[in-house]
Amino acid sequence: MTYFQTKKYIKEALLPVCGEYASYEAEKIVCHIFGIDKRTLTLISHEEAPDKTEEIENTVARRKNGEPLAYILGNTDFFGLNFLVSPACLTPRADTEVIVERALEFLGEKYANVLDICTGSGCIALAIAANSHAKVRALDISKDALDIARKNAERLSLSHKVTFESCNALSEDFASECEKYDLIVSNPPYIPTKDIADLSEEVHREPLCALDGGEDGLIFYKRFIEILPAKLKLGGRIIFEIGYDQENALRALCEKKGLFYEFFRDYGGNVRGVVIKIDQNEYK
């Protein structure tokens, strides 16, 4: 088979599980299996491909079985950067890119210090570091996720700008730290426990501790809104990713603490994040 025929074969096999993304995924899989990039694939697409039947069948079977493409390939793109991923961390979502955009908008040319809580693969922390003068301290409770995040920092040559530490952000130890930041970002677990069972097969392959936000999905936000304002420098900001239906809950939490807020949407049109500040005027 030619590369083109191989891609078509994979696309057709994936149609029932991937729908409109089948063509995109087939191209990624072909590039991965033959070790070529997209441009090369276009150039040689009508040449005969080496026989990789077993690897192709195995990959198609894993994908049809619900394994996320990023885990099969071992990497994914986020904010124009390539990240290693494994089942130890959530796969970076395109929806999360707006969190980075808002963070960069706020940081501008500042030499800021940033805290990223629940960093996972490190995608938010590293995308911020790659596109600003900020130094980022990134935390996660999972040592396995931190191993991946550190590898990502090395691969992206950002280890001098981002440090990774194991930390339980709900603990008293974390609450009592005195360091202050210009910006605190977090994409914490925010799915209500009872909704976990209804998530797609793919999401079920991801670590529960990166998804489960407790009974109401708000356990991290409730705690963070209590403790993070004291960790902000004057004029600082907190930016959270939130679930599409959590705007009202977050508004109530901010109002109870007298914080100022502005919600923003992802490119799918869902409310996806909130910028919070302690001092007034600009927002609310």
Reported in sequence order, the residue ranges of 48-125 that DSSP labels E, i.e. its strands, are: 75-78, 81-84, 113-117
Which helix (DSSP H) or strand (DSSP E) does residue 73 occupy? helix 69-73
Task: Give the nearest distance from C-beta 182 to ligand GLN in angstroms.
Answer: 23
Q: What is the DSSP letter of 157?
A: T
State the number of binding residues for ligand GLN (CB under 6 A): 8
Judged by CB under 6 A, which stretch of 42-50, 68-76, 136-144, 189-197 contacts ligand GLN?
189-197
Q: Which is nearer to ligand GLN, 123 or 156 (CB)?
A: 123
Q: Are 276 and 226 in contact (CB under 8 A)?
A: no
Does residue 41 bind ligand GLN (CB under 6 A)?
no
Judged by CB under 6 A, which stretch of 38-46, 72-80, 101-109, 184-192 contacts ligand GLN?
184-192
Judged by CB under 6 A, which stretch of 44-52, 61-69, 144-152, 186-194 contacts ligand GLN?
186-194
Does residue 271 bind ligand GLN (CB under 6 A)?
no
Site for ligand GLN in 78-107 (CB under 6 A): 93
Residue 149: how many other CB atoms lie within 10 Å:
27
Strand partners, 263: 274
Which helix (DSSP H) or strand (DSSP E) does residue 173 occupy? helix 172-175
Q: Which is nearer to ligand GLN, 170 or 203 (CB)?
A: 203
CB neighbour burial string for 159-197, b if at least 16 within 10 angstroms, e if fewer: bebbebeebebbeeeeeeeeeebbbbbbbbbbbbbeebe
The contact pattern for ligand GLN, residues 196-215, with x = CB under 6 A and - = no contact, is: -------x-------x----
Find the binder of ligand GLN among 68, 122, 189, 236 (CB under 6 A).
Answer: 189
Using CA atoms, how far apart are residues 11 and 18, in angstroms rounded to an integer? Answer: 9
Q: Are 155 and 132 in contact (CB under 8 A)?
A: no
Residue 230: how many other CB atoms lie within 10 Å:
12
Q: Which is nearer to ligand GLN, 27 or 216 (CB)?
A: 216
Distance, first Cα to last Cα, the chain? 60
Task: Give the nearest distance from C-beta 59 to ligand GLN in angstroms.
Answer: 23
Does residue 190 bind ligand GLN (CB under 6 A)?
yes
Does residue 191 bind ligand GLN (CB under 6 A)?
yes
Does residue 236 bind ligand GLN (CB under 6 A)?
no
Q: Are 275 and 102 in contact (CB under 8 A)?
A: yes
Q: Which is nearer to ligand GLN, 112 or 276 (CB)?
A: 276
Task: Give the nearest distance from C-beta 218 to ligand GLN in angstroms.
Answer: 11
Interface ranges with ligand GLN (CB under 6 A): 93, 187-191, 203, 211
